[in-house]
Amino acid sequence: MNAYFWLIPILPGLAAALNGLAPKATGRMAGHLAVLAMLGSLAISSMALFAALTAGHAFQPIDIDYFTWIGVGGLNIPFGVYVDQLSLVMMMVVSFVGSVIFIYATGYMHGDPGYVRFFTYLPLFTFFMFLLVMGNSLPLLFVGWEGVGLCSYLLIGYFYDRDYAAAAGMKAFIVNRIGDFGFLLGMLLLFWYTGSLKFTGLFEAAPGVFTAGGAVITVITLLLFVGATGKSAQLPLYVWLPDAMAGPTPVSALIHAATMVTAGIYMIARLNPLFSMAPVTLLVVGTIGGLTALFAASIALVQRDSKKILAYSTVSQLGYMFLALGSGAYIAAIFHLMTHAFFKACLFLGAGSVLHAFHRDTDVDVFEAGGLRKYMPYTRATFLIATIAISGIPPLAGFWSKDEILWEAFAAGRVFLWFLGILAAFCTAFYMFRLYNLLFSGEFRGTEDQRHHLHESPAVMWLPLAVLAAFSICIGCVNMPLLGYTGFHDFLHPVFAHGAAHGAEAVEENAFLASSFLSEHMLEWIFAGISVVVAVVAILFARVFYVWFPNMPERMREAFSSIHTILFNKYYVDEMYHAGFIQTYFNGCGAANWFDNRVIIAGLNGLANTVRGLADRLRRIQTGLAPHYALGTLAGMVFLVVVFLLCY
Amino acid sequence: MIGLYHFLILSGVLFSLGVLGVLLRRNALVVLMAVELMLNAANLAVVAFVRYPMFGDGGIVNAQDYAAMTNGMTLVFLVMTVAAAEVGVGLAIVINLYRQKKSVNIEEANALKG
């Protein structure tokens, strides 16, 4: 089994190479080729997972070096894979959700002039994503990290003839570079101190080199976290993700919701022995995550574009995962990552199905839609399931993972994070049901011509939706601590046991929890109850606002117009960045331009003009008349004779 | 009694006439002749030195003087040969100049004017 691991990234890589290098040959088969490659990767990943599950506690992480990738002096970085429980979970998410979305995309992108190009970039993305989650060293992870960033850029700008898509791609690329700069610095510092970049070497060396809670490890982990904020769209580098919706919808589902944006969470979970040694960093991670969760959720409350709402929802859910990481609840973060991948992919593909019915590529104003349940029953059903899942209603997947995060945050003494999380949970349930109600309930509000064209998507599109919806319902059952079943937790535990043993006491005990007369298990039930009540209240609010009293939103908007304006304009963050950074940069460019024109170019031109003026005078010496040259020769000779006579 | 200095003065006068000819005349053929005049003035000075060594009374005193004498005369023949070659090249240039300009006035050959 282990001998075939290299095939997992190579299969999609081959599909990408074939489609990219021989587009004429693959042609309309490009999509099928990509799907086939993904199914191959899925099969191998599943077998690996099965082997690990049957091995149980006997399972040892697999570390295979294929060849020396970089060998210079003391630096020796092999090219190899490291497959442990964490990698297996990520590989399964990428290959399974990837396969489903690939199948959906063959229907969604059917007839698009860039069909082959699309199915070149998409397998290339999965190739890099597998590299990211399977690489056995930080540089290899970084190669995957940059590779998925590149594919993200290419796919956001897929409709390259539209200015906003090209600009959105550029924005994603540049914002990610800022984060990558921090990541690279952190990686170099790690090498400086430990002399190793392989995960196994790093984790062995770390406890001896760093003091837990020390300044060095704190700086390193903070720098790595800067990288994560870029890739996983957290404050303050989240701005690229909502704009990334300019790409085709399958891309939004796979790259900008289910897999790539979770790379930051994977990275922190992978490096958990290091992060566990830096409690300050963990506090920062958790705080940023909690703030992002609430911040993005509040923006999503009032947006009008269906994909934008889902994008802010993704930012918010990623915030939850960072909140969990920051509370030391790595497994809860990975659990939420997995459940989120299913229901968010389902939501995005559902939104794509709606776009398909509207014959549009990118945006549908939710106030233009409405009443779609009559026209698109399958899309409506799956969308509703995923919406319930993300809102945190038991027993669907989102409840288990979100509730575990909130509980772990509270149990770890991060009560303010729990509070941020529960507020965000309220917003989440509200904006998701607002979106659902606006799209599918009530009467259709678009034009008669649009209504005429509304249709359910073909089976190749709604079947993937159904698969994802099924998983959105049941995937939570792998980990139900309330009911005393913690299979997922036990499976992943070995990955995080090592770090916990060497880490600082990252989180203090919750004083309330310690002094409470209630047992911990009862409190857990109470908190789960609070989460559910909050979600149900939010859903009722959404129902009241957008179905029972359709003129309520208008009245509320008028009553709270200032708040609405701020939220609708996304807290003016883009404008602030524009004024603060971009305008400053342009001003700097202007100054540099002035310096270049007025000092460097002017100086050089002045010098050149001086030389030219001198030369203009000097050239008159050359008369072209032979007697003048002869006179010069004579004068020179006379001069030499005089010198000769004077010297001797 | 005609001595070394007479010859040297004559040589100097001839050389100066040659220089003046080169500098002042416009006809290329005359300039070439003036160059010849300068060369021959130099030759005259050389043979004068051979005939009247600077030190001694004019006769061959020793092997060193003999060597100096033969060297000087050899130089004269070398200069004559070079002069002949120079005239050959010079006349070729003058002919080509005439073909180009229908004139042998060197003032018209000013293509290298800056």
In a domain, B95, yes or no: yes
- Is the per-residue pLDDT at A503 higher than 70? no
CA distance A221 to A284: 10
Query: What is the predicted pLDDT for the residue at B59?
Result: 56
Backbone angles phi and psi of A111, in degrees to 5: 85, 0
- Residue A268 main-chain phi, psi, to 5 deg: -65, -40
What are A423-445's pLDDT values in tens digits?
A: 999 999 999 999 999 888 888 88
The domain boundary, picked from A534, A551, A568, lies at A568
Task: Let me know if residue B14 belongs to a domain.
Answer: yes
Test A626 with B111 for CB contact under 8 angstroms: no
**Residue A508 confidence (pLDDT):** 52
Quote the percentage of chain B above a pLDDT of 90: 51
Of A621, A623, A627, the CB nearest to B23: A627
* Counted domains in chain B: 1
Establish if A633 belongs to a structural domain.
yes
Domain edge (last residue) among A568, A602, A629: A568
DSSP letter for A445, please.
-
Confidence category of residue A515, pLDDT binned at 50, 70, 90: low
Same domain, A508 and A559: yes
* Tens of pLDDT, residues A128-183: 999 999 999 999 999 999 999 999 999 999 999 889 999 999 999 999 999 999 99
CB A35 within 8 A of CB A102: yes
Q: Do A625 and B19 touch (CB under 8 A)?
A: no
Burial of A32 (0-12, 13-18, 19+ CB in 10 A): middle
Q: What is the interface size between A and B, counted as CB pairs within 8 Å? A: 32
Q: Is residue A457 part of a domain?
A: yes
Percent of the residues in chain A that have a pLDDT greater than 90, as a whole number: 52
In the three-class reduction of DSSP (H, G, I as helix; E, B as strand; rest coil), residue A409 is classed as helix
Q: Measure CB to CB from residue B106 to each of A620, A626, A634 and give the nearest one.
A: A626
Instruction: Report, as an integer, the average pLDDT of A617-621.
Output: 88
A540 lies in the same domain as A614: no
- Nearest chain B residue to A628 by CA: give it: B23
pLDDT in tens, A115-134: 999 999 999 999 999 999 99
| Dist. CA A108–CA A355, nearest whole Å | 10
Q: Residue A366: what pLDDT?
A: 80
Q: Which residues in A lie closer than 8 A to residue B24 (C-beta atoms)? A: 627
Q: How far is CA A454 from CA A355, A379, A381, A601, B97, in A?
A: 10, 12, 16, 62, 94
Q: Is residue A16 part of a domain?
A: no
In order of A95, A574, B44, B45, B51, the CA distances from B66 in angstroms are 109, 104, 19, 18, 11
Please indicate, yes or no, whether residues A439 and A346 belong to a single structural domain of this protein. Answer: yes
In this predicted structure, what is the pLDDT of residue A504? 47
pLDDT for A312-343, tens place per residue? 999 999 999 999 999 888 999 999 999 999 99
- Share the mean pLDDT of chain A: 88
Q: State the pLDDT at residue A512.
A: 61
Same domain, A510 and A420: yes
A239 belongs to a structural domain = no
CB contact burial A84-121 (16+ within 10 A = b; e otherwise): bbbbbbbbbbbbbbbbbbbbbbbbbbeeeeebbbbbbb
- Write out residues in chain B with pLDDT < 70, as ranges: 53-63, 65
Query: What local confidence, expressed as pLDDT, does residue A227 receive?
Result: 93
pLDDT for the residue A488: 87
Nearest CA-CA distance, residue B114 and chain A, Å: 5
- Substitution target in B15, B16, B23 with the highest count of A β-carbons within 10 Å is B23
Placement of tokens 């002042």 in the chain:
B24
In this structure, the answer to whether residues A470 and A397 fall within a common structural domain is yes
pLDDT at residue number A513: 61
d(CA A244, CA A430): 23
| Structural domains counted in chain A | 2
In chain B, the residue whose alpha carbon lies closest to the alpha carbon of A627 is B23
Closest chain A residue by Cα to residue B15: A634
3 state SS for A149-174: HHHHHHHHCCCCCCHHHHHHHHHHHH
> Which residues from B are below 8 Å from A when comparing CB atoms?
19, 22-24, 31, 106-107, 109-114
Residue A639 Cα to chain centre, angstroms: 83
A644 min Cα distance to partner chain B (Å):
18
Higher pLDDT, A642 or A1: A642
The answer to whether A386 touches A347, Cβ cutoff 8 Å, is yes
Q: Does the complex come out with an ipTM higher than 0.90?
A: no
CATH of the domain at B24: 1.10.287.3510
Nearest CA in chain B to A629: B23
Q: Which domain holds residue A642?
A: 575-647
For A92-220, strand residue ranges (E) read: none
Q: Is A179 inside a domain boundary?
A: no
Residue B29 included in any domain: yes
Residue A404 within any structural domain of the chain: yes
Return the residue of B nearest to A625 by Cα.
B110
In this predicted structure, what is the pLDDT of residue A551?
79
Contact criterion met (CB below 8 Å) for A198 and A136 = yes
H-helix or E-strand spanning residue A79: strand A75-83
Clarify whether residues A348 and A425 are in a common domain. Answer: yes
Query: b/e per residue, A416-432, with b = 16+ CB within 10 A?
Result: ebbebbbbbbbbbbbbb
Give B110's contacts in chain A (Cβ within 8 Å): 623-625
Structural domain boundaries enclosing B87: 4-108
Conformation bin of residue A510: beta by default, left when phi > 0, alpha when psi is -120 to 50: beta
Give CA–CA dist A284/A266, Å, rounded.
17
Which residues face A62 on adjacent strands? A83
- Cβ-proximal residues to A124 (8 Å cutoff; 6+ apart), any chain: A12, A13, A16, A20, A147, A151
A562 in a domain, yes or no?
Answer: yes
- Show the DSSP H helices in A447-582 as ranges: 448-453, 459-474, 487-502, 511-515, 520-543, 552-559, 561-568, 573-577
Structure tokens at A459: 């089976």
Domain identity same for A393 and A469: yes
d(CA A467, CA A385): 11
| Closest CA in chain B for residue A622 | B114
Flag if B23 and A631 touch (Cβ within 8 Å): yes
Query: Does residue B114 form part of some domain?
Result: no
CA A167 to chain centre: 18
Q: How far is CA A181 from CA A40, A48, A184, A188, A226, in A?
A: 35, 34, 5, 11, 8
Q: Are residues A558 and A633 in the same domain?
A: no
Residues A564 and A601 in one domain: no
Structure tokens at A567: 């939220």
Q: Quick one: CA torsion of A266, A271, A277, A281, rounded to 10 degrees?
A: -40
Residue A174 domain-assigned (yes or no): no
Among A540, A568, A596, give the residue marking a domain's end: A568
**Claim to verify: residue A386 and residue A498 sit in the same structural domain:** yes
Smallest Cα distance from A609 to chain B, Å? 18
A616, A621, A623: which to substitute to probe chain B, counting the most B Cβ within 10 Å? Answer: A623
Minimal Cα–Cα distance from A618 to chain B, Å? 9
Q: How confident is the model at residue A486 (pLDDT cuts 50, 70, 90)?
A: confident
Q: Taking 80 as the threshold, does the pLDDT of residue A285 lie above it?
A: yes
The CB density around residue A354, as the number of other CB atoms within 10 Å, is 26
The distance of Cα A364 from the centroid of its chain, to the nearest Å, equals 23
Residue A516 backbone class (left: φ over 0; alpha: ψ -120 to 50; beta: rest): beta
Residues A589 and A537 in one domain: no
Report yes or no on B113 lying in a domain.
no
A137 sits in which H/E element = none
Query: Between the CA atoms of A189, A194, A200 and A206, what dihedral angle is there, to the nearest 10 degrees?
Result: -100
pLDDT tens digits along A190-242: 998 988 888 988 888 888 888 888 899 999 999 999 999 999 999 889 999 99
Q: How far is A629 from chain B (nearest CA, A)?
A: 9
* Chain A interface residues (partner B, CB cutoff 8 A): 618-627, 630-631, 634
CB contact under 8 A, A622 and B112: yes
Distance from CA of B57 to the nearest CA of A (A): 26
Cα of A620 to nearest chain B Cα, Å: 6
Got the DSSP string for B82-112?
HHHHHHHHHHHHHHHHHHHHSS-BGGG--TT
A357 and A458 fall within a common domain:
yes
Beta carbons within 8 Å of A618's beta carbon, 6+ residues apart: B114
Please give the model's pTM, rounded to 2 decimal places: 0.79
